[in-house]
């Protein structure tokens, strides 16, 4: 029987586009704000505290988008772990909607259809499938019994759905706060 795998899901700190209320998606080069660095440092301190308690991460994997990598760098300094990056942990892609004010999306997005996507974007079903594939590979060959994944709000919601056995039409409605750490055990 396989041992359980513990995931520590870290949402990146506030980015410049979070602060400006712009849709980020997979836009690569959006940096953290000063508050975002503070949130990332707080998440990193939480990981370091878990390590002191004997339940910290043995591996650190991040989305390859700048806001996540900057957050992961804080986590690396506090834990002494190297950062591995992967596009599998990117945020949901919003295609042509990226860079637009988030408030405009309520009129443009069909939130009831998990297969809807903006032109050049990714549907919730595609995000869910990407995350499910990544988690299956991670569980099959985990780099450590506890792995910190530095990622994005919608990606964390997809992870939670996949682990709970829920489909892309049942992602949790609540997005974790910037700089939060969510503990999840895969059995």
Which two tokens mark 97? 């909607």
Catalytic residues: 12, 91
Q: Is 153 helix (H, G, I), strand (E, B) or coil?
A: helix
Q: What angle do CA 40, 45, 46 make, to 5 degrees?
A: 95
SS3 labels along 12-35: CCCEHHHHCCECCCCCCCCCECHH
For the chain, the straight-line distance linking the first and the last C-alpha, in angstroms and rounded, comes to 10
């Amino acid at each position: 029987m396989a041992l359980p795998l513990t995931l520590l899901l870290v949402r990146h700190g506030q980015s410049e586009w979070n602060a400006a209320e712009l849709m980020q998606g997979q836009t690569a080069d959006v940096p953290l704000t000063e508050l975002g660095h503070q949130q990332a440092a707080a998440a990193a301190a939480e990981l370091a505290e878990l390590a002191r308690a004997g339940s910290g991460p043995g591996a650190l994997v991040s989305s390859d988008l700048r806001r996540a990598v900057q957050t992961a760098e804080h986590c690396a300094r506090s834990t002494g772990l190297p950062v591995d990056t992967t596009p599998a942990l990117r945020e949901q892609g919003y295609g042509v909607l990226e860079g637009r004010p988030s408030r405009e999306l309520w009129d443009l997005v069909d939130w009831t259809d998990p297969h809807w996507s903006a032109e050049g974007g990714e549907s919730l079903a595609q995000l869910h499938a990407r995350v499910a594939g990544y988690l299956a590979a991670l569980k099959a060959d985990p780099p450590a019994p506890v792995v910190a994944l530095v990622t994005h709000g919608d990606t964390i919601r997809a992870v939670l759905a996949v682990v709970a056995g829920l489909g892309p039409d049942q992602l949790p409605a609540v997005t974790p706060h910037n700089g939060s750490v969510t503990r999840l055990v895969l059995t």
